Structure 1
Amino acid sequence: MTPSNDRFRELRELLRSYTVTGYVFDDTEDRRGIALSAYLRQAALDPARAAEAAAEIDDLLETGLFSDEIADDVDLLPHIRPPRGGTVEGCLAVVGGHLRRFLAEPDSPSRLPPQTAWEWRERFPELSHLMAAYFHQDWSTPRTERL
């Protein structure tokens, strides 16, 4: 459970999209990676999400990733590994740049089906519960016939 005054709520959602890459940044200055592309397809439906994530990245970078002031909030974030020779701060700055470009020229919402598991969960949050309940009802207990 996260506190209601969660300082990096949207950034946490953005970083969760990196499950598809094994929590490794795969973005470059020129190209969005798989995870960020998935996040931005969802943000196209609600651009305020990208604006909030960009503001949270700016706040985090301005305060400092290892600042005592935000240590408890940073602990709630998924731990993402930078590529060899990179830093988490550098990767977040790259992501922030992509978010600002997206906000300047937003993409139209995609008509394509979700491309990652994270994207499926974001677009259809109750689908897993529905499917789990459906299959549970059919296969949770052995069927016995009455004599």
Structure 2
Amino acid sequence: MPMKPLEHDHRYGELDQVIRAYLGQRADDVDDKPSAALLSYLRHTWHTRPTALAVAEQQLREYARNPPGRLRLRLGEFYPIPDVGLAESEIQAWLLLLADHIKHSVEAGEVPPPGTPATHWEWHARFPELAQLLGGWFSQDMPEEFSDHDAALRDYAETTEPQLTSRLVGELHELLALDLDETDYVLAVAELGMEVDPPEPYSASGWLALAADRLGGFPTGHGPSGSAESGGAPA
């Protein structure tokens, strides 16, 4: 029978985070150089959840040493490694190499310095609430659902827990503090799910600054009964 969520996370939760970091990236790790995907995982995890690195190293080794058979995969009893562009015969050695890189990073204290996210996974891991806003309220359907960008922002503020709105404002300021080139801000909001252009006459960074200001001033997260409502993308 398929694993229950708690069992899955206990056995494979952090391994799953490592593998997700390879979404859209090459698994081109070598003995003396981790891939861009693994560097992104290391950078974000070192600065947010450093104790998870030991868990990742352990889960990678355990999975590599005890690979599942086809039957147990089909029954959902094991975590299925997604396609990372490697032959099946190469997966075991690759997982052990990832574990070695993580172990070396921890034991040598080699902490990637803070920087701009380099992969899709890292953008979403670092700015989760901003990804929720841009992917949920500013998808290509936004013009059909809202009269303008301000109306979408107001809907987010009115239907989302105030604590999450405050977290979002912090993420907006953090993104602006990266001081990227304007073309990089365009790429950043696209990575985070925005599928419509900023309103005229704003650039991407200008609109992000405006959104932070607007969300700091809108009434937030209280329905007619006065109780806070949970966040979520509009239907």
Q: Which residue of 1 aligns with 2:86?
A: 82
**How far is the alpha carbon of 1:135 from its aligned partner?**
2.9
Seen in structure 2, the aligned counterparts of structure 1 residues 44 and 112 have a Cα distance that, compared at 3 Å, is same
- Structure 2 distance, partners of 1:116, 1:30, is 21
Seen in structure 2, the aligned counterparts of structure 1 residues 122 and 142 have a Cα distance that, compared at 3 Å, is closer
**How far is the alpha carbon of 1:115 from its aligned partner?**
1.2
- Percent identity between matched residues is 24
Q: Which residue of 1 aligns with 2:13?
A: 9
Superimposed CA distance per residue, residues 107-128 of structure 1 (whole angstroms, 9 cap, x where no aligned partner) = 4463312111110100111111
- Structure 1 distance, partners of 2:99, 2:130, is 31
Seen in structure 2, the aligned counterparts of structure 1 residues 36 and 109 have a Cα distance that, compared at 3 Å, is closer
Q: Tell which structure's C-alpha radius of gyration is larger.
A: 2
Q: Which residue of 1 aligns with 2:37?
A: 35
Superimposed CA distance per residue, residues 77-99 of structure 1 (whole angstroms, 9 cap, x where no aligned partner) = 4333327x961001111111101
Q: Which residue of 2 aligns with 1:63?
A: 66
- The answer on whether the counterparts of 1:41 and 1:110 sit within 8 Å (CA) in structure 2 is yes
Q: What's the TM-score once normalised by structure 1's chain length?
A: 0.78
- Structure 1 distance, partners of 2:109, 2:71, is 35
- Aligned to 2:77, which of 72, 76, 79? 72
- The answer on whether the counterparts of 1:20 and 1:35 sit within 8 Å (CA) in structure 2 is no
- Three-state SS of the structure 2 residue aligned to 1:79 is coil
- Aligned to 2:57, which of 54, 58, 64? 54
- Structure 1 distance, partners of 2:70, 2:107, is 30
- The answer on whether the counterparts of 1:44 and 1:107 sit within 8 Å (CA) in structure 2 is no
**How far is the alpha carbon of 1:63 from its aligned partner?**
2.0
Aligned-pair Cα RMSD in Å:
2.9
**How far is the alpha carbon of 1:65 from its aligned partner?**
4.1
| Structure with higher RCO (Cα < 8 A, 6+ apart) | 1
**How far is the alpha carbon of 1:140 from its aligned partner?**
2.5
One-letter code of the match for 1:106? G
Q: What's the TM-score once normalised by structure 2's chain length?
A: 0.51
- The answer on whether the counterparts of 2:14 and 2:56 sit within 8 Å (CA) in structure 1 is yes
